[in-house]
Structure 1
Amino acid sequence: MKKTAVIIGLLVLVWACKKGEESLPELFTGFVKPSNFPEPVYNFARNTITKDGFELGKRLFFEPRLSRNNTIACGSCHIQSSAFTHHSHDVSHGIDDRLGIRNPMPIMNMAWQQEFFWDGGVFDLDLTAVNAITNPVEMDETVPNVLKKLRAHPDYPALFKKAFGTAEITDARFFKALSQYMLMAVSSNSKYDHVMRKEEGYSFTDQEQKGYLFFQKNCSSCHSEPLFTDRSYRNNGLSPNRAHDTGRDSVTLNAADRYKFKVPSLRNLSYTAPYMHDGRFLTLNRVVEHYRDGMVDSPTLDPIFRRADGSLGISMTDEEKNNLISFLKTLDDRDFVTNKLLAEPEIGSGFVMN
């Protein structure tokens, strides 16, 4: 009887493993546009998302060989539980624990973006990884060296063959695979989304509804629905930081862009602290207080923040502030930060010695 029980136990274990293996493909359904979202701007015709391409991109996203000493992956600074940004740090921590000057932007809803990073310095999603790989305080590596390491790896030639038809590992294929993974990082299942889609059982509370009306009147011109960004660059009254980061003008070389940064999405704010381009604010309450009465004037300050009486910011009572914060929390998407499809693949510790 004891021997029979062991055999049955082993059979159950094998069945469970196979069941798990069979269920994994079911998580991948391809890219689906949420019904309350506009049409994507990414050109899928040049990079069709496939299951094998996505799986390769996910493996590469969490691959530390992309860095000089094989310790830093994209997923090191873009953590799923934080909506793919860097939690507990005001700015990014890269190779050899070097510090950057900006807070990593979340990776979500990338198919609706045309320019990337706080200064918009990259205008093609397929090229965004170049910045991280070559940046001396992030990965401090070169693309040719990354490709060399991938070609020498026992797994990657076969993975590239599954994804692209041949085992050839090129920079174009490498970047397209990473894009396929990032494009699937769609956040569209917040309470706000359920309400907007008029799904049964979902409605705003009285406080959330009041906050939504305040938001529409005072915030939506920059944080337009449903992406909650108009994808523009604006000076929102922050004082210059110690790094004296001047933002958009470092790309355009136009003085009119000085201290302008990309308007970030307000989705998943409960997961993406700290806030602003340099992570200077630790709480959402502090962010709202900045817009209420904490702005610093400068020639490029967005005109929307200049009140009729000459003061700066957005006028709001304590009640209106609380209502607004209540509404902003309806933009949290728990499904997104726990989506198993996007989770780091279990292929070992991820640390590589050579």
Structure 2
Amino acid sequence: MSALWLRRTAARFLLPVLLGACGEGTGGPTSPVPADDEVPRSLPAGFSSLPTHQGNPLTPEGVSLGRWLFYSPSLSSTGQVSCATCHPQARAFADETPLTQHGVSGRPLARHTPALINLAWVGELFWDGGVKNLESLSLAPLTHPDELGQADLSALLERLASQPEAVRRFEAAFGPDGLNLSNLLRALAQFQRTLVSADSRYDRWRRGEPGGVLSTQEQEGFALVQRHCVSCHGSELFTDNAFHNNGLDAQFGSGTEVTRGRGRVTQNAADDGLYKTPTLRNVTRSAPYMHDGRFATLDQVLEHYRHGMVASATLDPFFQRSPVSPGLNLEDREKVAILAFLEALTDESFLTDSRLGPPEAE
């Protein structure tokens, strides 16, 4: 979706009803994880609390409503597509196709569906950072003609108001007059903040917990990731939440063309070809890879960094190896070790936890 389209959508729908109600930015104070069955109990090493939006604190009822909405096909214009259609839990809330055609139009999207992992710590969202916080994140897929296709949000709210279960859930979360667009977006944001992945073998190893065992090869792979990948995949989140040009293409689009990357949001040529760093957590389950899903396997990804990177004006300096071609110096054995370590970042509880899956009838 284009940055221009996002700005027009925000101006038409979001600014009047959302910004005043939900506060500004991603910040707000961090709050302890609420003690209820709807939120994660494990956090990455070194983290003691789950960030929350100042105007949208987590509540059990709000998270429950957001979960119900996330899995409800009622949000789509056809009544057949939900957020989870393109974000299935078993694939780390990513999609298995490079450019999904699972939306209401059946047309392929312009970019690969990103995984939804540890979004509570993410600032600018989407591959190009076109959205600033989780409270506004869902507006774009809701209204995009190839995703959920809700051109008329008033009709969506009327449809929800005709469903007793929807009314009950909104009232429980936000009070008697709670069924409105602002609260719909708030609830989805609350649920997505609870999509915390921090219980892989690596996490248990870092925290010294039972089951936290890494083989010698996996520990070597971890050391190699720290040496070669930390400039983009640093911290316990395994992402810097920033934007980089990692040598995929030599030429980029102009204006608001999708191939411009971050540059089409900032309209700064220095940002052309830069894309959001995805987390490495659950990366073995979230194939395909890159903003356009061009790589089917992690082996292909590492081969790109070894031998396939191309130079351009905005290539991240970390990859430049003048006078030779850009890339990383990885031996075959080191590549195998990195692949082994990446498997240790798989969090089976995140992929299977029923609290993050479709809600049962209540």
Which residue in 2 is equivalent to 1:310?
324
Paired-residue identity, %:
38
The residue aligned with 1:140 is: 149
Correspondence 1:194 to 2:204: yes
Cross-structure match for 1:58? 67
Please give the secondary structure, in 2, of the residue aligned with 1:287. Answer: helix
Partner of 1:12: none
1:122 aligns with 2:131: yes
Q: Which moves more between the two structures, 159-168 or 169-178?
A: 159-168
The structure that has the greater radius of gyration is 1
> With structure 2 as the length reference, what TM-score do the two structures score?
0.84
- Summarize the Cα distance change of 1:118–1:309 in structure 2 as closer, same or farther, 3 Å threshold: same
Q: Is 2:337 aligned against 1:323?
A: yes
Residue 42 of structure 1: CA displacement? 4.1
Residue 248 of structure 1 is matched in structure 2 by 262
Query: What's the counterpart of residue 24 of structure 2?
Result: none
Query: Which digits, 9 at most, give the CA deviation of each residue in 1:231-278, with x for residues without a partner?
Result: 110110112699862211111111111111001101101210011111
Secondary structure in 1 matching 2:139: helix
Task: State the partner residue of 1:149.
Answer: 159
2:185 counterpart letter in structure 1: F
* Letter paired with 2:239: T
Q: 1:346 to 1:35 in 2, by over 3 A?
A: closer
> What number of residue pairs does the alignment pair up?
322
Report how far residue 154 of structure 1 moved.
2.2
Secondary structure of the structure 1 residue equivalent to 2:90:
helix
Distance 1:173 1:79, change over 3 A: same
Residues 93-112 of structure 1 correspond to what in structure 2 (within 5 A)?
A: 93=101, 94-112=103-121
Amino acid at match of 2:349: D
**Residue 92 of structure 1 pairs with residue 106 of structure 2:** no
- TM-superposed deviation, 1:33: 6.4
Matching of residue 218 in structure 1 with residue 218 in structure 2: no
User: 1:21 aligns to what?
Assistant: none
Compute the RMSD of aligned alpha carbons. Answer: 2.1
Contact 2:105 2:145 in 1 (8 A): no
Q: What amino acid sits opposite 2:235 in the alignment? A: E
In structure 2, the gaps of 5 or more residues are 1-34
1:237 aligns with 2:251: no
C-alpha distance 103-133 of structure 1, shift in aligned 2 (>3 A) = same
Q: 1:342 to 1:200 in 2, by over 3 A?
A: closer
The 3 A distance-change label for structure 1 pair 29 and 70 is closer
Pairing of 1:20-35 with structure 2 (within 5 A): 28=37, 30=39, 32=41, 34=43
Q: Offset at 1:209? A: 1.1
User: Which stretch of the first structure deviates more once superposed, 193-202 or 69-78?
Assistant: 193-202
Q: What letter matches 2:169 in structure 1?
A: L
Instruction: Give the drift of 1:296.
Output: 1.4
Unaligned runs of 5+ in 1: 1-25, 349-354
Q: TM-score, normalised by structure 1?
A: 0.86
Write the letter of the residue equivalent to 1:310.
V
| Equivalent residue letter for 2:110 | I
